[in-house]
Amino acid sequence: MQKLIPVLVVIVVLAGVGAFMFLRKPSAEVTYIVEDLLVYPENAPAGGTVYVTAVVRSLKAGSADIIFEIGGESFPQSIEFENEEQVLPVEFRYIAPSYVGPVQVKVGEVSKTVNVREARPASFRVTKLIGPSEAVRGKEVEVTAEVVNEGETQGTYRGELKLEGSVIKAVPPVTVGPGERKIISFKFTANQGGSLTIENYTGSLSLNVVEPYCRLEYLALEAPSTAYEGDVEVEVRVKNVGNVENEFSITLNPAPTKYYPGQRLRLAPGEEKIVTATYSMSAGNYTIQAGTLSASVSVQPAPAVKVKEITVPQLAVMGSQVSVKVKVSGTGTFTGRPNVEIEGNPVSPSPSEVSVSVSAGEEKEVTVTFAADRKGLCTFELGGKKKSFPVVGYQEVYLPGDYIKYSYTSSTSIPQLGQGLQDSGEFLLKYEGKENVGATECRKIKREITSSKLYPGGGNYDLLYSPDTDRAGFLYQAFSYRGGSVASELLYDTPLKILSFPLNQGPNASGSATATIKNYQPIELSVAGNCTSESRVERLENITVAGKTVEAIKMVITLRVTGNATFRGQTNPVDSTTIITRYVNQAGVVLKEKTETTSRTKYSGIDITLIDIQEITLKELHLSRLSSL
In a domain, 3, yes or no: no
- SS3 assignment for 6-75: HHHHHHHHHHHHHHHHHHCCCCCCCCEEEEEEEEECCEEECCCEEEEEEEEEECCCEEEEEEEEECCEEE
Let me know if residue 533 belongs to a domain: yes
Distances (CA, A) of 231 to 264, 290, 307, 368, 443: 22, 19, 12, 23, 42
| pLDDT per position as a tens digit, 296-320 | 999 999 899 999 999 999 899 998 8
Same domain, 444 and 545: yes
pLDDT at site 261: 55
- Region of poorest pLDDT, from 6-15, 191-200, 211-220, 412-421: 6-15
Nearest by Cα to 376 from 585, 224, 220, 589: 220
Mean pLDDT value of segment 595-602: 91
Same domain, 525 and 497: yes
pLDDT of residue 259: 56
Residues 378 and 432 in one domain: no
**Same domain (yes/no): 516, 375:** no
Read off the amino acid at residue 619.
K
Instruction: Please give the sequence-ordered ranges of beta strands (E in DSSP) within 100-242, or none if there are none.
Output: 101-107, 110-117, 124-130, 134-136, 140-149, 155-157, 160-163, 166-170, 174-176, 181-189, 194-198, 205-210, 216-222, 226-228, 230-240
Tell whether 279 is covered by a domain.
no
My answer on whether 379 and 402 are in the same domain is no
Q: Are residues 340 and 311 in the same domain?
A: yes
Beta bridge partners of 294: 289
Rounded to whole angstroms, the Cα distance separating 382 from 487 reads: 56
Q: 345: how many CB neighbours lie within 10 A of its CB?
A: 10
Q: For residue range 372-396, what is the model confidence (pLDDT) as tens digits?
A: 989 999 999 999 999 999 999 999 8
What is the tally of structural domains in the chain? 3
| CATH code of the domain in which 94 resides | 2.60.40.10
Residue 7 lies in a domain: no
Residue 403: strand pairing partners: 430, 622
Residues 484 and 549 in one domain: yes
Same-domain pairing of 508 and 609: yes
Which of 208 and 171 is assigned the larger pLDDT?
A: 208
* Residue 24 belongs to domain spanning: 16-117
Does residue 181 lie in a domain region? no
Q: Tell me the pLDDT tens digit for each residue of 554-590.
A: 999 999 999 998 888 889 999 999 999 999 998 899 9
Phi, then psi, of 373 in degrees rounded to 5: -85, -5
On the question of a cis peptide bond just before residue 502, with omega within 30 degrees of 0, the verdict is yes
pLDDT of residue 433 exceeding 80: yes
Residues in contact with 401: Cβ distance below 8 Å, sequence separation at least 6, in sequence order = 268, 431, 624
Boundary-marking domain end, from 61, 86, 117: 117
pLDDT(449) > 50: yes
In a domain, 464, yes or no: yes
Ramachandran class of 515: left when φ > 0, alpha when ψ lies in -120 to 50, beta otherwise? beta
3-state secondary structure of 367: strand
Same domain, 370 and 512: no
Same domain, 419 and 534: yes
Per-residue pLDDT at 258: 67
Contact present, 499 and 473 (Cβ < 8 Å): yes
**Helix and strand numbers, DSSP H then E, in the chain:** 1, 46
Q: C-alpha 364: how far from its chain's center?
A: 41
Same-domain pairing of 345 and 460: no
Residue 151: the pLDDT is 94
Q: Is residue 58 part of a domain?
A: yes
Same domain, 378 and 404: no
